[in-house]
Amino acid sequence: MNSSLLSRATLPHGLLTPRGLLLRAAILALLFLACHAAGWRDHATVLCGTDPSAAGAHLQAFLGLIYVLAFVGFTAGAPILALGSGCLWLLDRWTLAAPSGRGTGLGGKEMI
């Protein structure tokens, strides 16, 4: 995925829109699944102070930390973003007028 594709995937929906929040939740989930599929869960033993590599290189410790962060992002961050997306959608629907779709965040222009 080149940078322009990544940009189009992430940029059109700013952080301040329901779709944007949902997209970021999905990104967190995908990041975690990628780390899990890569088997980095086994390296999380770095959390208890044990170097996950017996051979001496410490890359696995670094990957273990990445996995833990991705895990927290998936278990705490993504649900909050997803629920926040729903709450923002409800809030937009009930509180804002929507001339030309602007400000709704639903297929409208990005807020930022």
Partner 1 sequence: MMRITFTALAAIALLLGLPLLGAALTGHDVRQYTEFPPLTQYVTHAPFSRAAFVGLAILLLMAGLPFIARIVQSNDAFEPREPDRHPFPRWGWFGLAAGAVSWMLAWTRFDWFAPLQSFTFSPLWFSYIVVVNAFTQWRAGRCSLTSRPGFMAVLFLVSAGFWWFFEYLNRFVQNWAYQNVEGLSSMEYFIFATLPFSTVLPAVLGTYELLQTFPRLSVGMEKFISIRWARPRVLAVAGLLLAGISLAGIGVWPDYLFPFLWVSPLMVIVCLQTLRGQSTIFSPARFGFWRDIFLWALAALVCGFFWEMWNYKSLARWVYIVPFVQRFHIFEMPILGYSGYLTFGLECAVISDAVGRWCNKRQPPAIMRRATIRTLLALLAGAVLWLPFMHVFFKPPNLADYRADAGIPPRAAALAARQMELWSDPDLRQKEFLKMRRSNAEWDFMARTYFVLALSNMALREPGSANSHLVIIDSIIDETIRLEKENGIYHFLMDYARFSPFRNSGQRSLFQDGEIALMLAARRLVREKESYRPLLTERLRLMETQLRESRLLCGESYPDQCWMFCNAIAIDAFRMADALDGSDHSNLIAAWLQSVKQNLVDPSTGLLYSSFTLDGRPLDGPEGSSIWMIAHSLQLVDPDFAADQYRRARRELGRTALGFGWAREWPKSWKGPVDVDSGPVIPILNISPGSSGLAILAAAAFDDRLYLSALITSLNYGGLPTRKDGRLRYCASNPVGDAVLLYALVQGPLWETVNRKLSTSQPASDLQKEVKQ
Residues that bind partner 1 (CB under 8 A): 7, 10-11, 14-16, 21, 41-42, 44-45, 47-54, 56-59, 61-62, 68, 71, 75-76, 79-88, 91-92, 95, 103, 110-112
Q: Which of 108, 80, 79 is nearest to 93 (CA)?
A: 108
19 within 8 A of 9, measured Cβ to Cβ: no
3 within 8 A of 63, measured Cβ to Cβ: no
**What's the closest the beta carbon of residue 26 comes to partner 1, in angstroms?**
15
How many alpha carbons fall within 13 Å on the CB side of residue 98?
13
Q: Which of 103, 18, 102 is nearest to 26 (CA)?
A: 18
Residue 28 or residue 82: which is nearer to partner 1 going by CB?
Answer: 82
**What's the closest the beta carbon of residue 73 comes to partner 1, in angstroms?**
13
**What's the closest the beta carbon of residue 72 comes to partner 1, in angstroms?**
9
| Alpha-carbon radius of gyration of the chain | 18
**What's the closest the beta carbon of residue 52 comes to partner 1, in angstroms?**
7
